[in-house]
Structure 1
Amino acid sequence: NSICNTTERDGWISFGQKIPSTTLENLYARTSYRTIASSINPGINKAIITGTPGIGKSLFLIYLLWKLVKDGKRVLFIYHPFNIYYDGKGGVFHFEDGQLPLDNDFSFWNDTLGCLFDAKGKKEAHLGELLVELCTFILSTSPNRELLNDFKKNPVPQVFYMPTWTEAELEAIADIFPGANQWCDRFVFLGGIPRHVLEVTAQDP
């Protein structure tokens, strides 16, 4: 619900509480986040957000949720373990697993709904329960997941490959990872993957 009370300043979005599944309260809005978000076709459409594990595909969904809610759009946000619906009018509703609106509820399932689905912790059956073909459906996943097989069928989805982080982007967020004082050296060996360069720093690269 804090998504409705965020502030944005100097490229950072502040939520005032921890972002789910992270230790972060602030989100750095990468240029690639803005580019991908503006390139997703509205209406009845499917899109896949993919790329190297550990680069922030799930956090992109948080960014996209913030943008859509700020713009007054209806959003169903499926982000383990949450199923949260934003009605576009300030209302926020939580659905239990298996308790989403019925398939024939076209006042809910229609082209004004954006569905953001994080594949982390999900299986193909979870995706099969949703009316992908009736809304704008954004799926965030690592490459080569089996659950993509049916999702890639017609209508063919847009596919966006999220780039790894540049050195300048990592420098912008390094201060929020206190243990990452040698991140520059790790970047040389491991590349622009925050999970390896900034978060998992107990071992030498």
Structure 2
Amino acid sequence: MTSRLPRRTVLGGMIGGLALASAAAGTGAGSAVAAGRTPGASTGQGAAGTVGALTPEPYVSLAVGVGGGPAGTDRVHVLKVGPDTAGTVLVLVPGMFGAANDFRLLARDLVAAVPGTQVWALDRREENLADRTGFTGPDPLAHYLDGHYRTLDPAASPFAAHWGLPLTLADLRTVVRAAGRGGRRVVLGGHSWGATTALAYAA
């Protein structure tokens, strides 16, 4: 029987492969992705070549109803990809263990393929409880791969018992209403449990 490879070895190899793939694709696109921006259409300026425009991808907070959790958790976040002038907003809900960034690359392809569309990728209120301290240290990889990530203690989190489907749908209602301001058309979608949530909302 062969022994299992350590998690750090497996993930390290995957990350290395992705880095090589990004390098092969070109440094310009890689820099845009790292900066959290969408590579846009060429400006066509200058005889020497074109200059690609970059579109910001803001990650914004929306206040939602009281959920009984710690301070700062009565809010959701939305990753916005595409122009604010779009007439249609596609709100995407991630799966149970997913998050807004799951949709970033898909969103870029969608707004490029369907003019007049903006994507709002949702982070549910429980994302406020995630341990992100590793990103403030010198070695984020070690923080998360070497077991320093701090999970929530269920015994100390009785409020989470009330964070079920009704509250999730109420939060989603806040997002849909915000997306539809100014008469914009709102389309709702999702992945896995997020798709089930979208169907429950539509029902």
- TM-score class, shorter-chain normalisation, is under 0.3
**What's the TM-score once normalised by structure 1's chain length?**
0.21
Select the structure of larger CA radius of gyration. 2
Structure with the higher fraction of residues in helix conformation: 2
